[in-house]
């Protein structure tokens, strides 16, 4: 088994020539799951996806989103409108970045040490796309493993090049199935 396994989207690039060396220098026991700094093509930070376990209000929002395709499209339109009217300083202007534990990494780029697998971790392939961040988070939580946001490792993500920006019925169905799987994992029904 290799010491490290990288799972990433096909629209991710790495510019740091020392990237692999930096990964190899990490202690795989202390850092079983590593989330690098992910910079989108718009220059926004994508990691960490969730600092803490999703609170009740966020889960309620997901359930509303998952209730119907038309509801989801309306929620996205409202979100886009409000995003244009405010500046989200929390993701765009971070001061000092440091390695820290988080709940869920962004799924565009994950680094797993062999320790993740030796301690019982696996890759949940029940859903073909989406929510891999959440299934990794649940797995890590159940196995008592930390998920580390490690900003010294930087990758660039041209988001939505594979799936597109628009919410199609097919994409919506995949997202909904993925979150359903996440809820089942949280409840221990899988």
pLDDT digits (tens, 9 = 90+) for 105-161: 998 999 999 999 999 998 877 777 777 888 899 999 999 999 999 999 999 998 776
Count the neighbouring beta carbons within 10 Å of the beta carbon of residue 160: 12
The residues near 104 (Cβ < 8 Å, ≥ 6 apart) are 48, 49, 50, 133, 134, 136, 137, 147
How many angstroms separate the CA atoms of 136 and 105, rounded? Answer: 8
Among 103, 165, 163, 168, which Cα is nearest to 129's?
163
pLDDT digits (tens, 9 = 90+) for 160-171: 766 777 888 988
Q: For the domain that residue 147 is a member of, what is the CATH number?
A: 3.90.550
Q: What pLDDT, on the 0 to 100 scale, is given for residue 96?
A: 56
Number of helices (H), then strands (E), belonging to the chain: the values are 7, 6
**Number of domains present in the structure of the chain:** 1
Domain that holds residue 138: 4-187
Q: What pLDDT, on the 0 to 100 scale, is given for residue 142?
A: 92
């Amino acid at each position: 088994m290799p010491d490290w396994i990288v799972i990433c989207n096909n629209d991710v690039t790495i510019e740091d020539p020392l990237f692999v060396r930096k990964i190899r220098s990490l202690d795989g026991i202390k850092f079983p799951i590593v989330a690098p700094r992910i910079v989108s093509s718009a220059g926004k930070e994508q990691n960490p996806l969730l600092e803490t376990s999703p609170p009740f209000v966020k889960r309620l929002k997901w359930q509303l989103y998952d209730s119907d395709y038309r509801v989801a499209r309306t929620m996205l339109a409202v979100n886009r409108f409000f995003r244009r009217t405010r500046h989200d300083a929390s993701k765009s202007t971070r001061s000092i970045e440091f390695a820290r534990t988080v709940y869920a990494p962004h799924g565009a780029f994950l680094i797993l040490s062999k320790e993740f697998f030796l301690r019982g971790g696996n890759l949940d392939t029940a859903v073909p796309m989406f929510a891999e961040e959440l299934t990794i988070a649940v797995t890590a939580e159940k196995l008592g493993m930390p998920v580390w946001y490690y900003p010294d490792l930087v990758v660039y993500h041209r988001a939505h090049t594979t799936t597109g920006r628009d919410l199609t019925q097919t994409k919506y169905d995949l997202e909904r199935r993925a979150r359903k799987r996440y809820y089942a994992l949280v409840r221990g029904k899988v």
